[in-house]
């Protein structure tokens, strides 16, 4: 149990028995608990400290009383509430089933009848709440629960506010209500006086996503999503899915009108329009473009004055993104401090190098997960292992303000317990001074505490503010078994070497399998095992005899990683890689990578994965945005830079593609795949002579047999 769970259990003893954590959202942590008085299972929600502090106990009780009035078959009601151990909490029925988000993640698009039923049931619940003077303000798939009997429940009215007024808007305190992908334009622009039509808009977004497979507006950052919503029309549903009835398309289009006055007046009207064969559009609303009309769906209409006003409000009122920034640091990237964790020097035996690298990676990973800090990826910082370059030059090449360096000694006596010594130093480059330095020595069994302590001291030295949950995340241990951790680090060292020959992959698989055998609950080891099995499957010549077993084993390991740690990005990334490389299903891969990105928005590997899948799906604008972010976090990686160059090529931005790919080749002159894409830049412009020059220059750096095999592809096409 966590400290919070222990305190709550003690404070609520005799009333509720906390069993386990169910999950964490933007506003609360949810536990499965037993209501001892009524002998029933309940979901007990504990507000996050910053939200509780903004609300205060009195206002919290006012809001809970407001929620308790809502009694409807499709609303998840409130049972009880209180203030225990300094925490504000309330209970709701425990629903066996899943959220709409879970189903969308699994299926992407829902059958039309199912989507309409879910939207209609949610609309009835919201219409009832509106009649009671309550606006939800955060309608999204995560807050729509699907019971086992097929019913829809609207959950988490959260900090809903009475329409009648008299209650201070929570956004005045700096905490926003809502999720950018589902916010109405007026909510995105920071308006406090919201009415039922803001929920209607959000439900329209949810229905659009159920039918199309994605929300009407997507983007790499909160600002990008909101600005597109304010200035662009959504793509017509029937262009994305022809089986959507025309009347449904028209109704959804009206629900997504930018001006509240152009939407349906009530949820009941929206529900009736969904059931009708056709629904008239209000004057001034653009009708959907029929499939095959030839008119570009990306063309922008003149922006109405009302929308321009909203845009100005959006630009002035960016404070509404506070809650989004807690879970998605894109909005605060511009002000983040930039740090590179350089490979810690191994002072022990040469064969213990992997252990020093593992300590480096663990500290880097903990810091990279924190808001307000951008940490350069290992692919770039690892280049400076044993480098003679001065700190100022390294910092300039990586674009960072701080460097974390260190030394590691691992003592393994023939008998007795081993010990680990780590001597980290945080350097502020601008002043060429040591900002923090402190040696650590501990038994090997305490290596995880040492890693967490180092990360914590860096946070303190950089004056970063962390929430309770982030501090707990910093202290998390990947495993409680040191031998399993050692096997994991050995496997990671092989995997990070980029070796794909069968012998190396077998050695990595063996080490991962040893790690999970020693600790079956080691989620990150299961994720690594899945990725390595997938790599062996893909690189099996002629597909080895055990290919079917490898395929199944790769998926099984990814599923195990997800089951053990659903909130850790490695499991999602492993499942994405399985769909990407084993199943060749970029759509499902993109879904998993997107979930990983929510959990690790500053991980260059995840950003690169997302961009690759988006490119496979033809979503080149999104792929470019994610590729650029990856390159900013991994500026010395030839692979990341090359991927950005390939994306620019597909977007026909040839001068930028040429310059970017030249940088990638300067980092890795023998990378054949980069050479190929660089030649394609010239071929795409019809410059055969320039393409030949690229290939001729490559002959100086590439192994001749490999280059010959590569060139054969061009001979067949008459390109040389």
DSSP string, 444-483: GGGHHHHHHHHHHHHHHHTT----HHHHHHHH--S-S-HH
Nearest to 180 by CA among 215, 152, 153: 215
- Does residue 138 carry a catalytic annotation? yes
Answer whether residue 299 is part of any domain.
no
In a shared domain, residues 547 and 583: yes
Catalytic residue, candidates 6, 83, 113, 138? 138
In a shared domain, residues 545 and 681: no
Domain final residue, candidates 566, 600, 634 = 600
Q: How many CA atoms lie within 13 A of 176 on its CB side?
A: 21
Evaluate whether 485 touches 479 at the Cβ level (below 8 Å). yes
Neighbours of 414 (CB within 10 A): 4
Residue 167 structure tokens: 């209650």
In the prediction, which pLDDT does 602 show?
86
Residue 443 structure tokens: 């038994």
681 burial via Cβ count (<10 Å: 0-12, 13-18, 19+): buried
**CATH code of the domain in which 569 resides:** 1.25.40.10
In a shared domain, residues 715 and 625: yes
Q: Which domain holds residue 454?
A: 336-475
In a shared domain, residues 253 and 106: yes
What one-character DSSP code corresponds to residue 199?
Answer: H
Evaluate whether 118 touches 152 at the Cβ level (below 8 Å). yes
Domain final residue, candidates 475, 508, 527 = 475
Answer whether residue 295 is part of any domain.
no
Answer whether residue 297 is part of any domain.
no
Partners of 345 in the β-ladder: 407
Evaluate whether 234 touches 208 at the Cβ level (below 8 Å). yes
Distance CA 496, CA 518 (A): 22
Contacts of 337 (CB under 8 A, 6+ apart): 372, 373, 374, 401, 402, 462, 464
* Buried-exposed string 482-509: b where 16+ CB fall within 10 A, e elsewhere: bebbbbbbbbbbbbeeeeeeeebbebbb
Nearest to 403 by CA among 370, 375, 383, 422: 375
In a shared domain, residues 415 and 495: no
Answer whether residue 162 is part of any domain.
yes
In a shared domain, residues 125 and 269: yes
In a shared domain, residues 108 and 183: yes
Distance CA 514, CA 495 (A): 15
Query: pTM for this one?
Result: 0.49
Partners of 44 in the β-ladder: 31, 91
Domain count of the fold of the chain = 5
In the prediction, which pLDDT does 226 show?
65
Distance CA 382, CA 341 (A): 9
**CATH code of the domain in which 468 resides:** 3.40.50.10610
Answer whether residue 541 is part of any domain.
yes
**CATH code of the domain in which 311 resides:** 1.10.510.10
In a shared domain, residues 220 and 352: no
In a shared domain, residues 170 and 220: yes
pLDDT less than 50: residues of the chain:
160-177, 277-334, 542-544, 712-720
In a shared domain, residues 497 and 372: no
Answer whether residue 573 is part of any domain.
yes
In the prediction, which pLDDT does 133 show?
86
- Angle separating helix axes 305-316 and 222-231, nearest 10 degrees: 160
Answer whether residue 350 is part of any domain.
yes
In a shared domain, residues 438 and 453: yes
Domain final residue, candidates 48, 70, 93 = 93
Answer whether residue 606 is part of any domain.
no
In a shared domain, residues 189 and 111: yes
Distance CA 615, CA 625 (A): 11
């Amino acid at each position: 149990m966590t400290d919070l769970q222990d305190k709550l259990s003690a404070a609520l003893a005799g009333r509720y028995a906390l069993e386990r954590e169910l999950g964490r959202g933007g506003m609360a942590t949810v536990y499965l608990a037993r209501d001892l008085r009524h002998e029933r299972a309940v979901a007990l929600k504990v507000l996050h400290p910053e939200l509780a502090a903004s609300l205060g106990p009195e206002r919290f009780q006012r809001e809970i009383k407001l929620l308790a009035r809502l009694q409807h078959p499709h609303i998840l009601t409130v049972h009880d509430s209180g203030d225990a151990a300094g925490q504000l909490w309330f209970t709701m029925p425990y629903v066996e089933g899943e959220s709409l988000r879970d189903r969308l993640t699994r299926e992407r698009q829902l059958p039309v009848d199912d989507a309409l039923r879910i939207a209609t049931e949610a609309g009835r619940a919201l219409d009832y709440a509106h009649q009671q003077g309550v606006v939800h303000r955060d309608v999204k798939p995560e807050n729509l629960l699907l019971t086992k009997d097929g019913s829809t429940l609207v959950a988490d009215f959260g900090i809903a506010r009475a329409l009648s007024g008299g209650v201070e808007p929570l956004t005045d305190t700096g905490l926003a209500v809502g999720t950018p992908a589902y916010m109405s334009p007026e909510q995105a622009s920071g308006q406090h006086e919201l009415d039922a039509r803001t929920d209607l808009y959000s439900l329209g977004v949810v229905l659009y996503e159920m039918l199309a497979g994605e929300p009407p507006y997507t983007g790499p950052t909160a600002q990008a999503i909101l600005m597109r919503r304010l200035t662009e029309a959504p793509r017509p549903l029937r262009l994305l899915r022809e089986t959507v009835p025309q009347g449904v398309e028209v109704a959804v289009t009206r629900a997504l009108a930018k001006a509240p006055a152009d939407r349906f007046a009530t949820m009941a009207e929206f529900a009736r329009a969904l059931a009708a064969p056709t629904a008239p559009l209000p004057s001034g609303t653009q009708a959907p473009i029929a499939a095959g009309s030839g008119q570009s769906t990306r063309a922008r209409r003149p922006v109405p004055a009302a929308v321009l006003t909203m845009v100005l409000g959006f630009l002035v009122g960016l404070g509404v993104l506070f809650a989004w920034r807690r879970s998605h640091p894109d909005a605060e990237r511009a002000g983040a401090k930039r740090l590179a964790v350089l490979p810690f020097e191994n002072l022990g035996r040469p064969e213990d190098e992997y252990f020093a690298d593992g300590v480096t990676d663990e500290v880097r990973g903990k810091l990279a997960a924190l808001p307000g800090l951008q940490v350069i990826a290992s692919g770039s910082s690892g280049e400076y292992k044993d480098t003679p370059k001065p700190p100022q030059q390294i910092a300039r090449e990586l674009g960072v303000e701080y460097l974390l360096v260190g030394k590691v000694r691992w003592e393994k006596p023939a008998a007795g317990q081993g010990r680990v010594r780590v001597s980290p130093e945080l350097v502020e480059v601008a002043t060429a001074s040591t900002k923090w330095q402190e040696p650590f020595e501990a038994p090997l069994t305490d290596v995880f505490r040492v890693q967490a302590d180092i990360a914590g001291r860096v946070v303190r030295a950089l004056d970063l503010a962390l929430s309770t949950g982030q501090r707990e995340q910093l202290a998390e241990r990947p495993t409680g078994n040191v031998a399993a951790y050692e096997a994991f680090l050995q496997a990671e060292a092989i995997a990070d070497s980029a070796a794909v020959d069968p012998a190396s992959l077998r050695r990595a698989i063996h080490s991962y399998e040893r790690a999970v055998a020693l600790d079956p609950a080691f989620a990150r080891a299961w994720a690594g095992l899945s990725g390595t099995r997938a790599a062996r499957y893909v690189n099996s010549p002629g597909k080895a005899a055990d290919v079917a077993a490898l395929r199944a084993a790769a998926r099984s390991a990814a599923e195990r990683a997800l089951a053990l740690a659903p909130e850790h990005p490695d499991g999602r990334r492993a499942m994405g890689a399985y769909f990407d490389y084993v199943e060749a299903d970029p759509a499902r891969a993109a879904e998993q990578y997107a979930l990983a990105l929510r959990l690790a928005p500053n991980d260059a590997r995840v950003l690169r994965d997302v961009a690759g899948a988006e490119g496979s799906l033809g979503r080149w604008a999104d792929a470019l945005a994610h590729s650029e972010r990856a390159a900013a976090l991994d500026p010395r990686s030839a692979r990341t830079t090359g991927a950005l160059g390939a994306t620019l090529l597909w977007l026909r931005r040839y001068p930028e593609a040429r310059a970017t790919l030249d940088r990638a080749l300067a980092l890795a002159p023998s990378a054949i795949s980069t050479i190929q894409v660089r030649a394609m830049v010239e071929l795409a412009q019809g410059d055969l002579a320039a393409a030949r020059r690229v290939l001729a220059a490559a002959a100086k750096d590439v192994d001749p047999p490999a280059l010959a095999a590569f060139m054969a592809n061009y001979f067949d096409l008459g390109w040389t």
